[in-house]
A and B are shown apart, each in its own frame.
Chain A
Amino acid sequence: MTEPLLEINELKVNYQVFGGDLKVLNGLNLEIYPGEKIGLVGETGCGKTTTMKSILGILHPAARIKGGEILYRGRDLLKLKEKEMNDLRRQHMSAIFQNPTAALNPVFTIGQQLEDAIRYSFSREERLPKKEIKARAVEVLNDVALPDPERLLKNYPVQLSGGMKQRICIALALVTASDLLVADEPGTNLDVTIQDQILRLLINLVEERKTATIYITHTLGVVRQFMDRVFVMYAGNTVEVAPTKTLFDNPVHPYTKGLLQAVPKLTGVEFSQGIPGRVPEYQRPPAGCRFHPRCPDSTAFCQQEKPGFVEVEPGHQVACFTGGDS
């Protein structure tokens, strides 16, 4: 079997805030293989964006990494110098942010931002001449199916629609993500049909380029069609992982089962029906398994010990003491 492209082991991240630490990521485990597409699914507030920012090394200054490692081709990203990390971001990995309007600099044109990203995606020696950069910019805008790229390059973000901005963010990310792309709920703020178009476009592009993709979402339905495997995340932990079909056919973790039963609300913001309650507060999170206060099957043991991943069938791991017995 090949080596993972990226492997996160027992990652712990806190946020220092007034009045104590928010213990958000609580020993997160995740791995992705070259060219693979995985879904990372969980309710809002469970730490998905924090995971994305940890991988790319762009955490908020209030964030503190309390343990664990993020291995990229065997190298621990948490130990890299800023310069080395930037070299990876320049060429090998990138991200798509949750909100395209916030992710584009409002006072620079699309061309200025895109052309700069292209320019720096090459090492100093290989840097392209201006004209070729421009041609390449037009090309990537074509790739994301935007009409009239020449004119778009001269536009400011404020002149564009949400869907166009989302496509531009995809273009920007793809330019600098030859190996790994982390897409943080792209299109969540857009209407459903555009969201769907953009998802299909993104999947086509990453498949064509064989870019490994972590697709973050709070809607299970979205991942069913396109992802190879799915990680289910709850309150700072990944609690279940399986090939997509297995996960939908044979969910084991009570949280996953709850998610599958839940009907996403039309607003798309949270699941509520399947599982009563909500993501815990991170200043004093529940001891043991963080899901136990909401879990229908919890035992006294769940309140003391944190469950680790256990393989229930090949490629299907669950972090739950019930181990699928219930």
Chain B
Amino acid sequence: MNLKKFIGYRLIYSIFVLLGLSILIFTIARVVPGDPVRLALGARASQEVVESVRAQMYLDQPIVLQYLYWVRDIFQGNFGISLFTRRNVLIDIQQFLPATMELALVSGVIMAVFGILLGTLAAQKKNSLMDNLVRLVAYVGVVTPSFVLAIFFVLIFGYVFNIMPTAGRLSSYIQAPPWITGMITVDSLLTGNFAAFFNALRHLLLPAISLAMAGLSQQARITRSTMSDNLQKDYIQAHRTYGIPRRRIMSKYLLKPSLIPTVSILGLDFAALLANAFLVELIFNWPGFSRYGINAILRKDLNAIIAVVMVMGIIFVTVNIIVDIVVAYLDPRIRMGRERS
């Protein structure tokens, strides 16, 4: 019905969220002690040079003015220069982001698809073998941090059995596809380079699964419990009295209302996944964005920090808008703007 209005409202809301985030991170980055310019230029740089770089970055101005300059520059597409790579941070982001996006997207898909699938299977029959198995896996998944899983995978599949690649995005003997989106799987498909595609996919698998497990487990648990609750609802019993076959009730009339809580928390799970990506990227030697971000923080690389956080923020907001749209599609009560009954 009012889906357009709904999306419009969410977009405006998101702009405010991002604005708030930018002010917050801008302030935090600047009030943390330590002189970023001195840190970047080293102890030997002369005071004049340091001062001139500071002036160049408006660091000698009051913080409110600094922020306004920053906003002005952004509207000209200038996110500032990284103090370390000495490049426009936008270029750095373009270089590092695709690897992380590829990992996060594959991981997110694994999380949602298998989480919902396992939860649905478990809910079919309470306390069945399948149910107990899923609950066990989900329990282990929730309590095991992704980096522990990652190390475990590297040991098992890399060292003990040596059947899966555990470092980098592509084997050195494979010819890399040309840079189009920066996501190797996508670029290799676009250029019909299937050898590279499957090789990249194999590289993706272990890091993506270690990242996905926590969210996957939570999705499975929530799907399972919502489904077995809803299974007892009058409307499901009513569908049975109309003589609708059980399979159809399960896959249609039970699944759709049961997906609402699961999908609602997908956004949060995806955010957690992005946050966990740093350690996993480190373990799998994945040349991604998270490592760039952490390095920026350690070096107090102001423009890079802010750009990284803002990009994360935009991804997060976008994912949440998509989640909201899917939830609104699933639940007419939200679309109609009424209270849930």
Contact = CB atoms under 8 A, between A and B. Distances in A.
Interface of A: 53, 56, 58, 60-61, 82, 86-91, 93-95, 97-99, 101-108, 113, 116-117, 120-121, 156, 158-159, 169, 172-173, 175-176
A152 to B, nearest CB: 14
Interface stretch (B65-73, B275-283, B333-341): B333-341
* Contact size range, B: 20 to 34
Contacts, number: 95
Contact of B240 (A87, A89, A169): A89
B242 A97 contact: no
Contacts of B234: 97-99, 102-103
B331 interface: yes
Nearest to A159: B336
A90 B243 contact: yes
B341 A158 contact: yes
Contacts of A60: 232
Contact of A102 (B235, B248, B253, B330): B235
Contacts of B238: 95, 97, 103-105, 169, 172
Contact of A94 (B242, B332, B336, B338): B242
B239 A106 contact: no
B287 interface: no
Contacts of A121: 242-243
Interface string B228-252: 0000111111111111111010000
Contact of B257 (A106, A116, A175): A106
Given A86-B245, A108-B253, A103 B332 contact: no
A56 B241 contact: yes
Nearest to B253: A105
14 contacts: A86-B245, A89-B240, A89-B241, A95-B241, A103-B234, A104-B235, A105-B253, A116-B244, A117-B242, A117-B243, A121-B243, A156-B332, A173-B241, A176-B241
B235 A105 contact: yes
Tell which of A90, A94, A97, A105 has the most Cβ of chain B within 10 Å. Answer: A105
A113 B332 CA distance: 15
Interface string B78-117: 0000000000000000000000000000000000000000
A88 to B, nearest CB: 8
A82 B240 CA distance: 11
Contacts of A87: 243
B30 interface: no
A176 B240 contact: no
Given A60-B232, A61-B126, A82 B332 contact: no
A180 to B, nearest CB: 11
